Chain A
Amino acid sequence: MSADHKEHPTPKKYVQIAIVLGVLTALEVTLYYIEDLVGSFTDPLLIFLAVGKYIIVVGWFMHLRFENKMVNRFFAGGMILALVLFTIVMLERGMANFFFN
């Protein structure tokens, strides 16, 4: 085992992180049920919570925040390409709706 592994979180820290993830999930479900109260903020808040959970799992459980920058770039590359694809498709859909409807 290399010395750098000492910098990984302890089991106690992992449990604390899991509790945070559980609380965030509970918040998501609560938001779903009180959508009428929260109104148009519901969807942005749900996306914000999901991104938060995503970052926590990738950073702490997958140890990406402890990894070499090369690994970070490759992983970010995949996400950026997926977002570009999503944006292009949605723009195309928007333009198609504008011109053909």
Chain B
Amino acid sequence: MSGGHDYPHEPTGVETRKLGMWVFLSTEILFFGTLITTFLLFKGRDFPGIKLTDVYDIPFTSISSFILLMSSLTMVLAHNALENEDQEKTRVWLLATAMLGAIFLAGQIYEFTEFYHKGFELSTNIFSSTFYVLTGFHGLHVFIGVVFLIGLWAIGQRQQGLSLDGGMNLEFIALYWHFVDIVWIVLFTVVYLI
């Protein structure tokens, strides 16, 4: 974009904190890249014990995926509302995003519980271990995101408004949240559909 988001006073032309956030997300790609690679190393091989394909519930996971996708919409609407200095809408969309994230997490806990009851446990075989580590770390990221979102919403309530300047602001949390969403886009395809 011509001149968009340029900071001439910064040597890189980008706000340093924002660049730091993008570098962090870049390292997160490597982190999940490693976990996905490990998962794929063992996918499709024969192991003792129940198979993941025997315990899948694709309709349920599809709805969870759709919920997480829509939380990206509410997140971007919160960001947009703050840019337009509409504090009320910002808080509403932030809370909606946190709620959708919490629903996704509840779904994942339910799914893990079902898998356990059906005999697909963390220690069933090495493939089940890679599955739980991969999806579990994603769930942990969603949980951290929900905590950030509720914290930001609470700050907005307490201070009668949020700002796009200073501190760990909404824009960075939005970037983090969208990142969690894109990781799930990959996981949904790689882990469940292929």
Contact = CB atoms under 8 A, between A and B. Distances in A.
Contacts of B1: 4, 7, 65-67
Given A75-B22, A78-B29, A62 B194 contact: no
Interface in B59-82: 59, 62, 65-66, 69-70, 72-73, 75-77, 80
A93 B45 CA distance: 13
A31 B188 CA distance: 13
Nearest to A32: B193
Interface in B122-165: 164
Given A25-B66, A74-B22, A46 B189 contact: yes
Given A4-B5, A74-B19, A62 B178 contact: yes
A58 interface: yes
B41 A61 contact: no
A10 B34 CA distance: 36
B80 A61 contact: no
Contact of A14 (B13, B32, B73, B182): B73
Contacts, number: 148
Contact of A67 (B4, B27, B28, B29): B4
B121 to A, nearest CB: 25
Given A29-B62, A68-B5, A70-B12, A75 B189 contact: no
Interface residues of A, number: 52
21 contacts: A5-B83, A14-B73, A29-B62, A50-B190, A57-B72, A57-B182, A57-B185, A60-B76, A61-B178, A61-B181, A65-B1, A68-B6, A68-B13, A70-B14, A70-B19, A75-B22, A77-B26, A78-B29, A78-B30, A81-B33, A82-B32
Contacts of B189: 28, 46-47, 49-50
Main SS at interface, chain B: helix
A1 B83 contact: yes
Interface in A39-63: 43, 46-47, 49-50, 53-54, 57-58, 60-63
Interface string B1-38: 10111100000111000110011011111101110110
B25 A85 contact: no
A93 B6 CA distance: 44
Interface string A73-87: 011011101110110
B58 interface: yes
A33 B76 CA distance: 32
